[in-house]
Amino acid sequence: MRRVCAGSGRFKRLRKAVEEGNSSPPVDLRYLRRPLARLDAESCRARITSFLEEIYQSVAENLPDVKDSTADDVELTLHTADGIEEDQYTVALSEDALVSVPAPPGSGKKRIRTSIKSVKISDDRHPSKSMLEIRWLPPGRIIDYWNQLRAAHPSEKVAFSYFWKVWYEEYPHLKFRCESSHSVRSTCVRHRALIKGLGSHLNARTAQILKYTEHLRMQYRDRQIYWSDRGQSRLRGSVISVIIDSMDQAKFALPRGSAMKSKDLSGLNRPKCHITAALVHGHCLLITVSDQDIQKSSSTMIDILAHTLTMLQLRGVPLSACTLKVQADNTVREMKNNPFCRFLGSMVAHSKLASASLTNLVSGHSHEDIDQVFGQLAQWLIKTCRTAECPTDFTQAIDAWLAQLPRPHEKGRHCVRLSCVRDWIFAFNQSD
C-alpha cells in the first residue's frame, strides 16, 4: 500500500473525489496561487532591472583612468564621494569575487550583512565570461541610486537588500569608480549636494531627487540623438556622422621618457604635441599630430574637417547628396563658434553638401566613443612608446596602434602630421 502525504483538507478532497468516482484528482490550488504571490516580486525585479539598464546606458562610462608616469606632472582634480569608504555595498560591487560585507565600526551588534553566499552571478552575466562591457559610474554610493528608484516610483516598495541583490546578480559589469580625474558637471554636483543636505526634509529631498533624475534623462536623450546619427552613418547611407575632439596634451610632451622625472629635468618646460581625432562612423578614423606652435583654433578644426571630407570624396562618397552631422565638444575656441558654422554653411551653399549641422552634448556629459579611443591610445603609448624624442616617434606609434585597432566599422585609418593651417577667419572676413 502506498502512503499519501497530504494535509487534512487535501486528503478530504481526494477521498471525496474517489467516492464520487471522478477520473482525476481535484486541482491543487496551492500551485495555482503561488505564481500570483510571486507576481509582486517579479515585477519589482523587472523594475530594478529596467532602472539599472537605464543607468548603464546613460550615466555609466567606459573611459579608463590612464595614469602615465612619463607624462608631465599636471594638476589632476580627483573627484571622490563623501563616505564612500564606509559604503561596503559599493565596495562589494567592485569586487570580482563574492565577498562578505562586515559591519561598520562602532555599530555594536547591528550588522549590514554577514553572509551573502546566496547571491550568485550567473555565467552569462559575469564580465570575465560574458561579452558584456564593463562600465563605471562616478564615485558615489549605491543607496543614492536606490533613493532615485524609490522617488521615481513611489508606489513600488523596493527593499534595499533586494535592490543590491539584483544589481549584484544581473549587473556585475556596472561598477563604481573609487576616484576619477574626469570632469563632473556642476549641475550634478549641486543636485547631489542638495540631496545630501535635505536628509531631514523628506518632501524636499524627494523633489530634488526627481529633478536630478530628470537631468540625467535629459542628457541621455541627447546621447540617443547622437547614437541614432552614428547608426545611420554606419549603414553608409545619406548621413555622415563625424565626431571631432582633442586629446590631453600632457601625455605628448617631448622628449618623453622616465629620465624626465629626475629632479634636474622635471622643471623644464617641454613642448607638447597636439593630438586631434576625427572619427567618421562607418568610414574612417583620422588622427592628426601637430606641434605646440600650431594654435588650436577654429581654423585648425576647419582644416581637419576639410581634409576629412576630401578623404571621403576620394573614397567615392557622394558628398553632395549627403547630410553631414558634426558632433563637437563644448569648447568655444575650437568648433562651437561662428567661423566653423560659416564653413558648414558655405559647403552647403556651394552644393558640396546637401545639409550640415553642428551639435554638442551637455557640458560634463560630453564623454563619448571618441574619448574611449583616446583611452585606448593612451594605454598603447604606455606599453609601446615609453620614449620619444620628436613628433615622428608619436606618429609611428600611432600608426602601429591604428593597424591593430579593433574597429570593424571604420576600415580606413590615417595618421598625418599637421605642419600648418589656413587662416579661415581672415578668408571669411575678406568675403564679407
Domains of the chain listed by start with CATH number: 38-225 (no CATH), 232-431 (3.30.420.10)
- pTM here is 0.69
pLDDT confidence of residue 111: 46
Helices 186-197/142-152 angle, 10° precision: 80
* pLDDT tens per residue, range 341-388: 999 999 999 999 999 999 988 777 777 888 888 888 888 888 888 888
* Percent of the chain residues topping a pLDDT of 90: 20
pLDDT confidence of residue 346: 92
* Coarse DSSP helix, strand, coil percentages of the chain, rounded to the nearest 5 percent: 45, 15, 40
Give pLDDT < 70 ranges for the chain. 1-6, 27-42, 63-130, 179-185, 266, 432
Kind and range of the H or E element at 288?
Answer: strand 284-290
pLDDT confidence of residue 149: 86
Residues 193, 104: Cα–Cα separation, whole Å: 24
Map residue 320 onto helix, strand or coil: helix
Residue type, 370: I
pLDDT confidence of residue 38: 46
Map residue 9 onto helix, strand or coil: helix
pLDDT confidence of residue 83: 44
pLDDT confidence of residue 110: 45
pLDDT confidence of residue 6: 66
Residues 283, 248: Cα–Cα separation, whole Å: 25
pLDDT confidence of residue 303: 93
